[in-house]
Amino acid sequence: MTGTAAQRRSLWTTPEGDALLVIDQRQLPHRLVVERLDSVAAVRTAIVDMWVRGAPLIGAAAAYGIALQCRVAADDASLAATQAWLDSARPTAVNLAWATQRMVVALQPLPVDARAAAAWQLAGALADEDVATNAAIGRHGLGLLQALAARHPGRPLNLLTHCNAGALATVDWGTALAPVYAAQAAGLAVHVWVDETRPRNQGASLTAWELGQQGVPHTVIADNTGGHLMQHGQVDIVIVGADRVTARGDVCNKIGTYLKALAAHDNGVPFYVAMPLSTLDRRVHDGVAEIPIEHRSPREVTHITGQDAAGALVEVQLVPDGSPALNPAFDVTPARLVTGLITERGVLAATAEALAATA
């Protein structure tokens, strides 16, 4: 994804195996800065401050966080404390707790002095698994795109996505964008409408950047534009990612996803959610009532960061002095608005029955 083969993924490790390397996504698309994380505290900061973000990527990073801490202390009490501390970094995406739980369950039966080496290997295996999972999501999503394209011969398919559920949000390939990359490899023409995704602009900054790197035709649109495009037949399909999907198929994803689902429903546009099954939280049912929604700093709403003519990153204020702002980072789209879930095991209905069958 990002230049040299060694840096193709969104996270990787030093050749010496003593640290995790990540892209500081806060600086994209202006600068490609790689940061070295060599402690669990550094990993947690990178997750909280969103150097790394996207549900699968924060899970993979947290797995390495556990592995780094095992080099300092690997007894049961330390494992439990590290797990709880990492889980509290961001509350909504369930992949974070899924990954730390997987690490702890695998490490606990091992002798304490064997845990550090095993943990590093387990984190690597989890990262590799994420890549394979997303490639499978891409293959299943490609089938959907090919079927749609057959109905619209002679022109590119128009796909709309929200936020960044691409390679940058995962170890590689992405979830919502995996079918796009699979289509590109298969020679199927796809054009992507990229919602800018205020307040943090993951669409404008990250999705547009990675699609540009891959040579995928795309157009950035203001968040409010999607409904208008759907009314005018300019969106064939919506595919978004997910941070948590409930047992009955409610989908929690980046704030603004729900409004896109409503507009898609009103206009008969298929609305798909691409998700690894690690995003499924079988313990919760009613997403609106039960999923904890992260609230971030109001400053993300009141201010915006960009690059000035001299290449410096500058933050500017958008609102009057003293105007309060509210910043919920995610919303919930009820299952009834979801056409289907693109998983590594195939395309599923967003229903309790279909999801229970994956257990």
- Dig out the tokens for 284 from the structure: 């919760």
Whole-angstrom distance, CA of residue 359 vs CA of residue 351: 14
Which of 203, 324, 299 minimizes the C-alpha distance to 257?
Answer: 203
- Distances in Å between the Cα of 212 and the Cα atoms of 57, 67, 182, 203, 327 are 21, 34, 16, 12, 29
Q: Is 54 annotated as a binding residue?
A: yes
355, 273 Cβ separation under 8 angstroms: no
Closest CB 152 distance from ligand MRU, rounded Å: 26
Closest CB 357 distance from ligand MRU, rounded Å: 23
48, 72 Cβ separation under 8 angstroms: no
Tell how far CA 137 is from the center of its chain: 13
28, 200 Cβ separation under 8 angstroms: no
Active site residue 243: yes
Q: Which residue, 223 or 243, has its beta carbon nearer to ligand MRU?
A: 243
Q: Which stretch binds ligand MRU (CB under 6 A): 16-24, 164-172, 297-305, 340-348?
A: 164-172
Closest CB 198 distance from ligand MRU, rounded Å: 12
Residue 243 as a binder of ligand MRU (CB under 6 A): the answer is yes
| 3-class state of residue 141 by DSSP | helix
CB atoms within 10 A of CB 87: 17
Q: Which stretch binds ligand MRU (CB under 6 A): 35-43, 151-159, 183-191, 239-247?
A: 239-247
Choosing from 172, 243, 250, 281, the catalytic residue is 243
Q: What is the DSSP string of 43-84?
A: HHHHHHTTSS-SHHHHHHHHHHHHHHHHTT--SHHHHHHHHH
Residue 260 as a binder of ligand MRU (CB under 6 A): the answer is no
The only residue of 42, 149, 216, 329 in contact with ligand MRU, by rule CB under 6 A? 329
Q: Which residue is closest to ligand MRU by CB?
A: 241
Residues counted in the chain = 359
Binding mask 183-212 for ligand MRU (x = CB under 6 A): -------------------x----------
Q: Which of residues 166-185 bind ligand MRU (CB under 6 A)?
A: 169-170, 174-175
- Dig out the tokens for 289 from the structure: 């009532």
Residue 241 as a binder of ligand MRU (CB under 6 A): the answer is yes
Specify binding-site residues for substrate.
Answer: 53-55, 90, 202, 253-254
Residues near ligand MRU (CB under 6 A): 53-56, 93, 163, 165, 169-170, 174-175, 202, 241-243, 253-254, 329
**Catalytic residue ranges:** 243
